[in-house]
Amino acid sequence: MKFYVTTPIYYVNDRPHIGHVYTTTIADIAARYHRLCGDDVFFLTGTDEHAAKVVDSARERGLTPQQWADQNAAVFQETFRKLGISNDDFIRTSQDRHKTKVQQYVGELLKSGDVYLGEYEGWYDAGQEEYVPENKAKEYEYKSPINGKPLVRKTEKNYFFRLSKYADTLLQKMEAEPKFVQPEVRRNEVMNRIREGLNDVPISRTGAGEWGIQVPGDPGHVIYVWVDALINYLSTVDTDERRQWWPADVHLMAKDILWFHAVIWPALLLALKRELPRQVYAHGFWIAEGQKMSKSLGNFIELEKIDRYVAEYGLDAFRYFLAAYGPLGANDSDFAEAKFVSVYNSELANDLGNLVNRSLTMIQRYRGGMVPRAAAEDLRAECERASAAYRAAMDALDLSGALEAVRALVVRANRYVEETAPFKLAKQPEQATRLDTVLYNLAETSRWLGVMIAPVMPQIAENIRAQLGLSARVGRIGEELRWGGLAAGGRLGALAPLFPRKI
Ligand code: ME8
Provide the 10 A C-beta neighbour count for residue 459.
16
Ligand 1 atom nearest to 14, measured from its CA: 22
Quick one: which of 229, 242, 183 has its CA closest to 51? Answer: 229
Q: What is the pTM of this model?
A: 0.94
Quick one: which of 154, 272, 146, 159 has its CA closest to 212? Answer: 159
What would the pLDDT profile of 212-267 be if each residue is shown by its tens digit?
999 999 988 999 999 999 999 999 999 999 999 999 999 999 999 999 999 999 99
Give residue 135's pLDDT: 87
Neighbour-count burial of 62, counting CB atoms closer than 10 A to its CB (0-12 exposed, 13-18 middle, 19+ buried): exposed
CATH topology of domain 337-480: Isoleucyl-tRNA Synthetase; Domain 1 (1.10.730)
What are the start-end ranges of the H helices in 326-476? 337-343, 354-367, 380-395, 399-420, 422-425, 432-453, 458-467
pLDDT of 416 > 70? The answer is yes
Going by alpha carbons, the residue nearest to atom 8 of ligand 1 is 19
If one residue of 6, 7, 11 were mutated to test the ligand 1 pocket, choosing by the most ligand atoms within 8 A of its CB, it would be: 11
Question: What is the percent of the chain where pLDDT is above 70?
Answer: 99
Give residue 85's pLDDT: 98
**How close is the Cα of 7 to the center of ligand 1, in Å?**
9
**How close is the Cα of 461 to the center of ligand 1, in Å?**
30
- Backbone angles phi and psi of 90, in degrees to 5: -135, 110
What would the pLDDT profile of 36-84 be if each residue is shown by its tens digit?
999 999 999 999 999 989 999 999 999 999 999 999 999 999 999 999 9
If one residue of 5, 6, 9, 10 were mutated to test the ligand 1 pocket, choosing by the most ligand atoms within 8 A of its CB, it would be: 10
Going by alpha carbons, the residue nearest to atom 27 of ligand 1 is 254
What would the pLDDT profile of 299-328 be if each residue is shown by its tens digit?
999 999 999 999 999 999 999 999 999 999
Going by alpha carbons, the residue nearest to atom 22 of ligand 1 is 10
Ligand 1 atom nearest to 23, measured from its CA: 24
Give residue 208's pLDDT: 55
CA-based end-to-end distance of the chain? 45
Give, as one character, the DSSP assignment of residue 275: P
Give residue 331's pLDDT: 95
Q: Are strands 130-132 and 115-125 parallel, antiparallel or unpaired?
A: antiparallel
Give residue 131's pLDDT: 82
Give residue 263's pLDDT: 98
